[in-house]
Structure 1
Amino acid sequence: MIVCLRLFTALCLAALLAACASSPSSSLGELPRTPDASLEQLLQQASASQDPQEAALLRLSAADLAMRQQINERAAQILAQVPVDQLKPAQQVFASTLAAELAMNRNDPKAALTALSHPSVARLDEMPADLQVRTHTVHARALEADDQTLAAARERVAMSAHLTGDSANSNNEAIWTLVAALPVEQLQASGNDVLGGWMSLALAVKRAGTVQEQQTAIDQWRAQNPAHPAAIQLPTPLVKLKELASQPLTKIALLLPQEGQLASVSKALRDGFVAAHYQAQQAGQNPPSIQFYDSSRLTSLDDFYRQAQADGVQLVVGPLEKTLVKQLNARSQLPITTLALNYSEGTKGPAQLFQFGLAAEDEAREVARRARADGLTRAGAMVPKGEWGERVLNAFRQEWVAHGGSVVGIEYIDQPVALAQQVGDLVQQRKNSSEPMQFLFLAATPQQAQQIKPTLNYQYASDLPVYATSHVFSASGNQDQYNDMNGVRFCETPWLLEPGNPLRQQVAAQWPQAAGSLGRLYAMGVDAYTLTSRLGQLKALPDSRIDGLSGSLGMSPTQHVERQLPWAEFVNGQVQRLPDTPN
């Protein structure tokens, strides 16, 4: 009986071995495949095998099975027992791909890219199609997570020839998402291959202004590239653009308070909005008409929307009041698409609500992007004490930590007399730390910054870079105010950093205050007008951006318009423009 059991077991194990490997493929070697066996059976057979090649194939199958069962740590342990350098090329590619997939499962794209740098992967185009697709897929995911967008698109294009049906369509959608996120300068380097076609399509869409112009550009591109995958089946966002082009905007409601605490802010926004409207008329466009409504006299949002609908309004710009924006955000839907000129905190609002404002959080995230682009990893922070300072600090910290940075010291600006001690505490911490801060994130008024920077110099920390929000810049034209802030870098609106802009010059000639700090509000008004014709574009093309006068504008998944800003530095009391933050 025992002899019979042994014979039966041996036959089962032999069949198991045959199921674990594909047929021989010349010098590339056999590929493992998921067998009809349990994880433990595979591991037992691998341990019992006298053939190193068979044992390696069984362990590769076991590791692959463990990963598919979401037992990632076990999969990694099994894979570590496989002598990859002793395997044949196809097996090495399989092992490298599996290691990369496990790395991505633990959110480690750099480890995935290291795994895929194995020399065998250079022979990927000799491998079976299913392995090619699997390797290209994880490579694209890792590159995208590592912000190597163009390389990720290239990987997806490379595997597209092996895909059909829904898989091909999904891959093409992913290619478009990647290519649409590339800056214009990278798109201009396109060739005549398939990837070049994708890039030239994205460039055509980005160069066009209105939705109608974008539709014309898409039609022309399709006529020139009839055999391209994107011409055969347009990516979904471009189909949505086509739908938008058939719905021209003819009437806008501008809902702003004419009385109360926000009246002066409202006036600057309104003047900027109307100035942009007149500029469009002068350029020979046919802009929509504007109807003005006073939000300070509102008794009911429902009554307002009923009146706006009766007046033929297709888009509402406003309100400005945060309480009203919160009310809109809490609704399940709105009767008219609305661009609110403030932000509500919390969850995403109705699909018809977009939100835009001069959020300090945008600037905090911009500081994080800039410092990261400059190669820095450890930050100190000084922000005002209170709710505003906490919001700004949290926005900076989230963006900073999400990309591998650390915050090694924080001080909350409170009373002026305590500033020197607070700066001294940060400097002392920097001196005593084994991993000292490399720069200071500063959100402060010009008056506070005038004390903080000289104190840093006095504390022998003049070499500590300071990256600040726009709040350090009053745009007063008083050079003496900035003499003590040499070297402080800050982000600011294009409106205040580009005085030669024709629209800015025209507005400032009529309203001189637009050349000062109020200019940020005029810029926001101009950009709000620009957004009226581009909201559909930003929603349909989530990675696209608009070069505005309050910043480079993009849209978050919660339909908040977010700004990226240019940079400047105080040099001998003067404001000196710096190169933009690399994408």
Structure 2
Amino acid sequence: MRINMIRSFYLLVTILLLSSCGDQTIRPDRTQYVGLSQAQDYYQQNDYHNAAPAYEELFNNYHNKRFAILAADSWLQQKNFIRAQQLLAQISPSDDPLYALIQAQISQHNNDYANAKYHIDQVANDITGELRIRYLKLKAQIEYQQQNYLESALLWIELAAMNTGLELDTEIMNSLLMTPEQQLTQALYDGQGSELEQGWLEAAYAALSPDPDASKQWKTRWPNHPGILFFSQENPYSKIAVLLPLTGKYKNISSSIQQGMLAALYQDGIGEQTLDFFDTGSNGESFSFAWYGAIESGADFIIGPLEKNSIKQLTQLNSTTLPVLLLNKLEDEENPFGFYQFPLSQEDEVFSVASRLIAENKKRVLLLAPESNNGRKLAIAFEKELLYLGGQVVNYKFYPEATHDYSTEI
């Protein structure tokens, strides 16, 4: 009797345990979180407007890191970087690759390229699927901003090979053209890349070569390679007018631009193109003469003007049928005539100098700047960028703009 009771007890316990395990096995995970199914549907359908609050509510209710990350990403897709950053600040760092991608994209948006590089490097290179496409695109942009041009080009090439439908030829060309010749030559010598990469590298090398037969040899070797674009950028404009302040306070800058344009023209050996230069004056006082002089010369493309007053006068014209490439930014974001804009920004030069110093491991800097509002503004921008990149301005001095002797300040 006692033995039967013990057997019955063990049988009952076994049944209860099996019953309990059975319930745990068949219960779907998503039913544990009320609202998860709807949030997933929103996210998968790219309905980020509704996905963001849905995942935020899930995070507030269940305090699951993954929900905060998905909510942050949904806000990020709507360009709400502040809210995305606020959400990630509420959780501890995660090894989820999406977490690192979001942090990298936020840092990139904030021009914090050093942190963007740090976060993107936390993502494993073997990441797959849609996240890999996103990873490659973001990393290529960050490497370019960090002046790692060859690495950027190789990432763009890999992304192009995935047949994502993205037009990436321009990004590949720009990155390769910025790559130092020594790095390009070494990469070609190593020959460790794919056939697609090798064709692109050889195309860039041939495009930069002074040998006129280099492009012909490349075309024979790679007849069906997309790198053919290096050699098919034909300029349809034959008579180009350039509007610059050739006299006055900007004459030295204008002279450098003029010399660079002429050198490029002669180096390319394009006999069918001509460049005509017209003086706008240092404050736009001669803009009208320059503009109508360019029109009367028969120009079919106009580069310039450079300084702001001339650009302002240009925007006040009733219309223009000629394509115009401005050498500065429009004050107003509106661009009714569709002008091309290529600003020769001092801020861009400051960022470039800071990046170059860090790349050369010159992290402690003594800064000299002109004593003016613009000089102080550029000094602040430089120091901010240098700090972001891991450098330090140990001291700075300001000198009168008219001086040419800096020995006292040094």
Q: TM-score range by the shorter chain?
A: 0.5 to 0.7
Among 271, 292, 295, the alignment partner of 1:286 is 271
The Cα of 1:374 is off from its aligned counterpart by: 3.8
In the alignment, is the contact (CA less than 8 A) between 1:39 and 1:62 conserved in 2?
yes
Gaps of 5+ in 1: 1-6, 21-33, 48-58, 83-94, 415-442, 454-583
Q: Deviations over 1:68-119 (max 9, x none)?
A: 3335554576675x7xxxxxxxxxxxx4422321321431324424523xxx
Code of the residue aligned with 1:104 in structure 2: it is A
Secondary structure in 1 matching 2:179: coil
Code of the residue aligned with 1:15 in structure 2: it is P
Equivalent positions of 1:77-88 (< 5 A) are none
Equivalent positions of 1:504-519 (< 5 A) are none
- Matched residue, 2:409: 452
Code of the residue aligned with 2:72 in structure 1: it is M
In the alignment, is the contact (CA less than 8 A) between 1:334 and 1:353 conserved in 2?
no
In the alignment, is the contact (CA less than 8 A) between 1:42 and 1:62 conserved in 2?
yes
- C-alpha distance in 2, partners of 1:293/1:75? 54
Code of the residue aligned with 1:98 in structure 2: it is L
Equivalent positions of 1:289-438 (< 5 A) are 301=287, 305-306=291-292, 308-315=294-301, 323-328=309-314, 334-336=320-322, 346=331, 352=339, 367-387=353-373, 389-390=375-376, 392-394=378-380, 396-397=382-383, 399-401=385-387, 403-407=389-393, 409-413=395-399
Sequence identity percentage? 21
Do structure 1's residue 204 and structure 2's residue 206 form an aligned pair? yes
- Matched residue, 1:469: none
Equivalent positions of 1:240-259 (< 5 A) are 242=233, 244-245=234-235, 247-250=236-239, 252=241
**Alpha carbons of 1:370 and 1:111: their partners in 2 closer, same or farther (altered >3 Å)?**
closer
Among 112, 130, 135, the alignment partner of 2:119 is 112
- C-alpha distance in 2, partners of 1:390/1:142? 28
- C-alpha distance in 2, partners of 1:186/1:370? 16
- C-alpha distance in 2, partners of 1:319/1:391? 24
**Alpha carbons of 1:325 and 1:400: their partners in 2 closer, same or farther (altered >3 Å)?**
farther
- Matched residue, 2:27: 14
Q: Tell me the TM-score normalised to structure 2 length.
A: 0.58
In the alignment, is the contact (CA less than 8 A) between 2:59 and 2:65 conserved in 1?
no
- C-alpha distance in 2, partners of 1:156/1:355? 24
The Cα of 1:195 is off from its aligned counterpart by: 1.7
- Matched residue, 1:69: 74
- C-alpha distance in 1, partners of 2:306/2:73? 51
Equivalent positions of 1:517-528 (< 5 A) are none
Secondary structure in 1 matching 2:367: strand
Among 171, 176, 181, the alignment partner of 2:178 is 181
Q: Deviations over 1:302-356 (max 9, x none)?
A: 575445434323355776876435533676975545678x867846776556678
In the alignment, is the contact (CA less than 8 A) between 2:364 and 2:394 conserved in 1?
yes
- Matched residue, 1:100: 100
- Matched residue, 1:513: none
Code of the residue aligned with 1:197 in structure 2: it is G
**Alpha carbons of 1:288 and 1:392: their partners in 2 closer, same or farther (altered >3 Å)?**
same
- Matched residue, 2:16: none
Equivalent positions of 1:77-226 (< 5 A) are 95-107=95-107, 108-116=115-123, 121=124, 124=126, 129-130=129-130, 132-133=132-133, 136-137=136-137, 139-140=139-140, 143-144=143-144, 146-158=146-158, 163-164=162-163, 167-170=164-167, 174-188=171-185, 189-190=187-188, 191=191, 193=194, 194-207=196-209, 217=215, 221=218, 224-226=221-223
In the alignment, is the contact (CA less than 8 A) between 1:252 and 1:288 conserved in 2?
no
- C-alpha distance in 2, partners of 1:40/1:265? 57
How many residue pairs match? The answer is: 346
- C-alpha distance in 1, partners of 2:342/2:60? 60
Secondary structure in 2 matching 1:286: coil
**Alpha carbons of 1:222 and 1:361: their partners in 2 closer, same or farther (altered >3 Å)?**
same
- C-alpha distance in 2, partners of 1:360/1:289? 29
- C-alpha distance in 2, partners of 1:284/1:176? 21
In the alignment, is the contact (CA less than 8 A) between 1:97 and 1:135 conserved in 2?
no
In the alignment, is the contact (CA less than 8 A) between 1:329 and 1:353 conserved in 2?
no
- C-alpha distance in 2, partners of 1:450/1:196? 51
**Alpha carbons of 1:377 and 1:328: their partners in 2 closer, same or farther (altered >3 Å)?**
farther
Equivalent positions of 1:228-247 (< 5 A) are 228=225, 230=227, 242=233, 244-245=234-235, 247=236
**Alpha carbons of 1:366 and 1:450: their partners in 2 closer, same or farther (altered >3 Å)?**
farther
**Alpha carbons of 1:62 and 1:186: their partners in 2 closer, same or farther (altered >3 Å)?**
same
Q: Deviations over 1:206-244 (max 9, x none)?
A: 4479xxx89x94x8645532454556xx5xxx69x63x4
CA RMSD of aligned residues (A): 5.6
In the alignment, is the contact (CA less than 8 A) between 2:243 and 2:290 conserved in 1?
no
- C-alpha distance in 1, partners of 2:241/2:40? 64
- C-alpha distance in 1, partners of 2:352/2:131? 40
Secondary structure in 2 matching 1:106: helix
**Alpha carbons of 1:378 and 1:333: their partners in 2 closer, same or farther (altered >3 Å)?**
farther
**Alpha carbons of 1:285 and 1:315: their partners in 2 closer, same or farther (altered >3 Å)?**
same
Structure with the bigger RCO (C-alpha within 8 Å, sep 6+) is: 1
Gaps of 5+ in 2: 1-19, 34-38, 43-53, 76-83, 108-114
In the alignment, is the contact (CA less than 8 A) between 1:197 and 1:225 conserved in 2?
yes
- C-alpha distance in 1, partners of 2:305/2:134? 50
**Alpha carbons of 1:14 and 1:394: their partners in 2 closer, same or farther (altered >3 Å)?**
same
